[in-house]
Amino acid sequence: MAKEYKFPEGFWWGSATSATQIEGAASEDGKGMNVWDYWYKQVPNRFFNGVGPEVTSDFYHRYKEDIKLMKEIGHNSFRFSISWSRLIPGGVGEVNKKAVDFYNNVINELLENDIMPIATLFHFDMPIEMQHIGGFESRQVLENYKNYAKTCFELFGDRVKRWITFNEPIVPAEGGYLYNFHYPDIVDFKKAIQVCFNTVLASAMAISEFKKLEIKDGKIGIVLNLTPSYPRSNHPADLKAAEIADLLFNRSFLDPCVKGEYPDKLVELLKSYNHLPVYTEDDLELIKNNTVDYLGVNYYQPRRVKAKENMPNPYGVFTPDWFFDEYVMPGRRMNPYRGWEIYEKGIYDILINVRDNYGNIESYISENGMGVEGEERFIKDGVIQDDYRIDFIKGHLKWLHKAIEEGCNVKGYHLWSFMDNWSFLNAYKNRYGLVSVDITTQNRTIKKSGYWYKELAKNNGFSE
- What positions carry a catalytic annotation? 367
Q: Is 426 in the site for ligand BG6 (CB under 6 A)?
A: yes
**Alpha helix positions (H), 11-96:** 19-22, 35-42, 59-72, 84-87
Please give the angle made by the CA atoms of 404, 81 and 357, to the nearest 5 degrees: 30
Residue pair 442/23 in contact by the 8 Å Cβ criterion: no
**Backbone φ and ψ of 425, nearest 5°:** 70, -40
Q: Which stretch binds ligand BG6 (CB under 6 A): 102-110, 132-140, 307-315, 422-430?
A: 422-430
Q: Is 18 in the site for ligand BG6 (CB under 6 A)?
A: yes
Q: Is 416 in the site for ligand BG6 (CB under 6 A)?
A: yes
Nearest residue (CB) to ligand BG6, 241 versus 245: 245
Q: Sort 391 into a burial class: Cβ within 10 Å, 0-12 / 13-18 / 19+.
A: middle
User: Applying CB under 6 A, which of residues 37, 125, 344, 367 lies at the interface with ligand BG6?
Assistant: 367
CB of 224 to ligand BG6, least distance (A): 11
CB of 123 to ligand BG6, least distance (A): 6
- HEC string for 410-449: EEEEEECCCECCCECCCECCCECCCEEECCCCCCEEECHH
Nearest residue (CB) to ligand BG6, 169 versus 231: 169
Q: Is 296 in the site for ligand BG6 (CB under 6 A)?
A: no
What residue is closest to ligand BG6 based on CB?
423
**C-beta neighbour count of 305 within 10 angstroms:** 25
**Backbone φ and ψ of 278, nearest 5°:** -85, 130
Nearest residue (CB) to ligand BG6, 83 versus 167: 167
User: Applying CB under 6 A, which of residues 225, 252, 335, 409 lies at the interface with ligand BG6?
Assistant: 225
The CA distances from residue 71 to 101, 156, 433, in Å, are: 22, 21, 15
Binding mask 305-334 for ligand BG6 (x = CB under 6 A): ------------------------------
Q: Is 167 in the site for ligand BG6 (CB under 6 A)?
A: yes
CB of 335 to ligand BG6, least distance (A): 10
Nearest residue (CB) to ligand BG6, 76 versus 298: 298
Restricted to residues 29-88, the positions that interact with ligand BG6 (CB under 6 A) are: none
CB of 225 to ligand BG6, least distance (A): 6
Nearest residue (CB) to ligand BG6, 337 versus 462: 337
Residue pair 184/131 in contact by the 8 Å Cβ criterion: yes
Q: Is 371 in the site for ligand BG6 (CB under 6 A)?
A: yes
d(Cα 407, Cα 405) in Å, to the nearest integer?
5
Q: Is 122 in the site for ligand BG6 (CB under 6 A)?
A: no
Residue pair 86/19 in contact by the 8 Å Cβ criterion: yes
> Mind giving me the DSSP string for 181-212?
SSTT----HHHHHHHHHHHHHHHHHHHHHHHH
Cβ-Cβ contacts under 8 Å for 126 (sequence gap 6 or more): 34, 35, 84, 91, 135, 136, 141, 172
CB of 464 to ligand BG6, least distance (A): 27
Residue pair 141/88 in contact by the 8 Å Cβ criterion: no
User: Applying CB under 6 A, which of residues 58, 66, 168, 246 lies at the interface with ligand BG6?
Assistant: 168
User: Applying CB under 6 A, which of residues 423, 434, 436, 453 lies at the interface with ligand BG6?
Assistant: 423
Q: Is 430 in the site for ligand BG6 (CB under 6 A)?
A: yes
Distance, CA of 31 to chain centre: 23
Q: For ligand BG6, how many residues bind (rule: CB under 6 A)?
A: 12
CB of 6 to ligand BG6, least distance (A): 28
Long-range (24+ apart) CB contacts under 8 A made by 327-332 are 327/230, 327/231, 327/232, 327/238, 328/304, 329/232, 329/304, 332/304
CB of 257 to ligand BG6, least distance (A): 17
Contacts with ligand BG6 by CB under 6 A lie at 18, 21, 167-168, 225, 298, 367, 371, 416, 423, 426, 430
